[in-house]
Chain A
Amino acid sequence: MSKAHVYKRDHINTDEIIPARYLNTDDEAELAKHCMEDIDAEFVNKVAEGDIIVAGDDFGCGSSREHAVWALRGARVQTVIANSFARIFYRNAIDNGFYLIESPQAAEKINNGDELEIDYKTGRIKNLTAGIDIDFKPLPEFALEIIRAGGLLEHIKTKKR
């Protein structure tokens, strides 16, 4: 069961996702301990494997640190659903094989704690708690290829073989 952790806010930045004071390591497990710390210090205690973060506009704005993606993945977050994403964060996520869902109406139709199920193929978020479906545009084949390979570098490796 995937639970929604909803932050009805715009411009959640990379400093909030993983504060700069933890950037002296690129160890994913270590970063995961501080995931979302400056927006919700309790997040790491609440999150379970496969859970989903839901937010407003411009998620991931700020610096180009890939550590933000590593922290979320390390915390075993399944995906982030947001109205929109900042450019470099979006790229870094795909490059790391981390699926992001852009859906302008989702934040209004999902409440904190709702159970969600996601069909990545058809582009549908099933809100089991509310009993509604929310559609989203699936990532283009190009990005899916990278994600299926497990990230950009794995993708390149496979192509080179």
Chain B
Amino acid sequence: MEKLRELWNETWHFYKRTLILVATGSKLYYAWCFSLLAIIIAGFLFYMRQHDAGLIATNMNDQVSWGLYIANFTYLVGAAAAAVLLVVPSYVYHFKPIKEIVVLGELFAASSVMMAVLFVMVDLGRLDRFWHMLPFIGSMNFPESLLAWDVIALNGYLILNIFIPVYLLVKFYYRKKPNWKFILPFILLSVPWAVGIHTVTAFLYNGLPARPFWNASILAPRFLASAFCSGPAIIIIIFQIIRKVSDIKLEDEALFKVAELIAYAMFLNLFLLGSELFKEYYSNSIHMAPVEYLFQGLHGHNLLVPWIWAAMTMNVIAFIIFLVPQTRKRLTTLNLGCIFVIIGVWIEKGPGFVIPGFVPDPLGEIHEYLPNLLELMVSFGIWALGLLVFTLLMKVAIPIETGEFTHTEFQKELMASRPH
């Protein structure tokens, strides 16, 4: 009984202090959080309009029935998968420079998956019927429907990536050593699970013979390769920011090692893309119409052409930057490469993947799609929400990691040791 009361007190203390932690910060911090909050509110208001009028408020139609929301979903699942796949092997290979940032990487994966799930939720026509998808309570079509698999995979991944960091952070908070025998299996499980979520997402496109653009065996490998490019690139940028605003020591060496991994992943991505292009252009069947639409334009419709070529250029430049040690090991070019990869892969995997699947449609119609203001605002809102959640998580997690934010019994010695 006494222990329970103690636990309750400590939890309340913890809660109060996290509130203080997230509410205090530099001017830049306030500016960042409030601008994100503004975008989130705007996005929410636009979503309410979509909720009232129906999806007719978007630019989607019967011919192009998935748009910006699903494009973002695909990209974010990749980012989430790659985050874990990057940091977790540090436990296996004991690459010390990366070890400190594992928890942060996993929290990033959790925020990413949360964003992906939110994008699916705003895309659903009848969100109020979401319970139909729950197993046992609703009627989940498992194992036939890949969307059912995706729901299970994503939610399982979210739970894993909340459970593991929370466990580790709680242990750090109590200044105790984590029980590796207990937690390591979960950490190791998150590696195949990360591959799993992105493979399942790829399979849900892959299994549709009605859409020859997606019905290619190369889809799952391409998804994973492009995910390994974009996820680590986001992480490199995020960790540089973390390094600047906190006391966490991150050696440059860690960042360069990650960049090297991106180079290999980008090579694989470009190679797989090249294989697809060869197959389509050389075979020259009518099924190459979507690829033609994407890269050249089809019967005068060429909205996506400048975008995809920009993405290709960015990807190739980034590849060279990451490959050449001199450019990789200089922070300015490294960051440029990262931004190119993030944007390039977003275009290639988001709109450059989802839209051509619908052009031409199964009856040969060609209708182009551009998101309208409502879709853009809702998408920005969700991205802002993800970034805000990640920021707040970092605001609490980093002090715990560095040892600043600990259990009350250690607070006194912390205060004593602090120089005034």
* A, B from the same assembly: no
Q: Which residues of A contact B (CB under 8 A)?
A: none
